[in-house]
Amino acid sequence: MMTKQVRYEALVKALHGDLYRYAYWLCHEKQVAEDLVQETFLRAWRALDSLKDEKAAKSWLITILRRENARRFERKRFEMSEYEEATITDTQAISNEQNIENDWLREKISQLPPEYSEPLVLQVLGGFSGEDIASMLNLNKNTVMTRLFRARNQLKEALEAKPENRKQGGL
Amino acid sequence: MDDLQFRRAILADPKSAEPNNAEQKHQNADLLAALQADPAKKQFAQELNQLDEKIKQALNIPVPEGLTEKLILRQTLASHQIQKRKTRVHLALAASVAILGGLLFNFMQFSSAYSNLGDYALAHVYHEQTSFANNSKNRVTLTSLNQKMAAFDGNFSDSLGELIFADYCRFDGMKSLHLVFQGKTSPVTVFVVPKNDQLSFSTEFNDKNLYGESLAFKHSNVIVVADENESLQQWQQNISNNIAWTI
């Protein structure tokens, strides 16, 4: 009993940040992301005995979270495309040069099609390899690499086009 | 490796251009060679790494304060509820076991291990055999015997013989009267037992050493157990002649 508790708390402390960020980039809403993380960890707690390899914990949790997210859409299919404003405005409270840049990039990332942004988040934030991502998303590795390439390419192009955009008052 | 391939590889994974990416080193040999050969490619890889750094910073949104505590709290509450459910189950189990235990105890206590009067009477006599000697000087008077018989609404008009012992006892859980008379060679035991459905009536019974006969009266059975030297018929005759039931 105690050791399970200790394991769980260690898991929460080590991975709740990564998981929350991943959830956020999946659903683009802070509250929903938090709920997803809560639901995920609750399920993880119940199934903790099935986690044998601690190194696999992160991808295990991400798999649970993806399933939870999918379940969310089974429950209600609407409420999809209204995230843009919320995403941008609520992170703009403290503004300096770096933050403005970040916010701009965040907007661009959230405008990426989800099939592009998800592998990108997993790769950059989660530190997963192409193979890992492929197995987590049930895709083959080439597809994943192509999507990563397109995701970065779009961001790079957007970034290169940015100065003009700014002069026009931003997109 | 041509330029397009190179750009695709770098864009798909800028880290693959890092020389110390040990895991995929052999796959990256081409890439690294191309990188070293062409400064423009090196430049491109560096830009992409910078872009990735920016992406990483952008993705690195702040985590809500106290999320850890919330997660632990929710789990604690959830497992507390499971605990409570478990205790309820345990309690129910314990109660079931207690009830079963009670039933079993009742069954053992009040059900008979013997199916008929004879078996039980023999067992009873053997059990108390050592307590009574045929030459015992103890005598019980007819008066005190009849006082006890009153509980069975019965009365002896005359003494049946030398009464060594007379007292109530439990005859298979029923209050009954246990009489021991002096016999020819060994004591003769007489039971006065209220009628009961649990034990089937057996008129005559015996084993290697002892013989018994039962006599059924209206409310009670009278059982005589003695060795082969006694005439059980005589005893039964005496009892029938002497006993009087008030009801």
Over residues A107-117, the pLDDT tens digits come to 888 888 888 98
A3 min Cα distance to partner chain B (Å): 14
* Token couple for B222: 């009278």
Q: Across all residues in chain A, what is the average pLDDT? A: 80
The pLDDT assigned to B110 comes to 67
Res. A91 pLDDT band, cuts 50 70 90 = very low
pLDDT beneath 70, residues of chain B: 1, 19-27, 110-113, 115, 197-198, 247
Q: Picking from A64-68, A128-132, B77-81, which range would have the lowest pLDDT averaged per residue? A: B77-81
Q: Give B24's contacts in chain A (Cβ within 8 Å).
A: 129
Cβ atoms of B81 and A48 within 8 Å: the answer is no
DSSP string of A79-134, one letter each residue: --S--HHHHHHTT-SS--HHHHHHHHHHHHHHHS-HHHHHHHHHHHTT---HHHHH
Q: Among candidates A110, A51, A56, A53, which has minimal Cα distance to A86?
A: A110
Q: Do B61 and A8 touch (CB under 8 A)?
A: no
- Spatial separation of the C-alpha atoms in residues A121 and A107, rounded to whole Å: 14
SS3 content of chain A, % helix, strand, coil (to 5): 80, 0, 20
Q: Kindly tell me if the per-residue pLDDT of A171 is higher than 50.
A: no
Greater pLDDT, B45 or A98: B45
Q: Looking at the predicted structure, is the pLDDT value of residue A90 above 60?
A: no
State yes or no: pLDDT of A79 exceeds 80: no
Q: How many CB atoms lie within 10 A of CB B119?
A: 19
Q: What is the pLDDT of residue A20?
A: 92
What is the model's pLDDT at position B19? Answer: 63
CA distances from B174 to A158, B117, B194 (A): 101, 12, 7
Test A21 with B8 for CB contact under 8 angstroms. Answer: no
Q: Please choose, from the candidates A151, A153, A100, A111, the residue with its C-alpha nearest in 3D space to the C-alpha of residue A25.
A: A111
pLDDT in tens, A133-142: 999 899 999 9
Phi, psi of A141 (to 5 degrees): -65, -40
Note the pLDDT of residue B97. Answer: 94
Distance to chain A for B127, nearest Cα, Å: 55
Query: B161's torsion region: left (phi>0), alpha (psi -120 to 50) or beta?
Result: left
**For position B20, what pLDDT does the model report?**
60
What is the mean pLDDT of the segment spanning A29-52?
Answer: 88
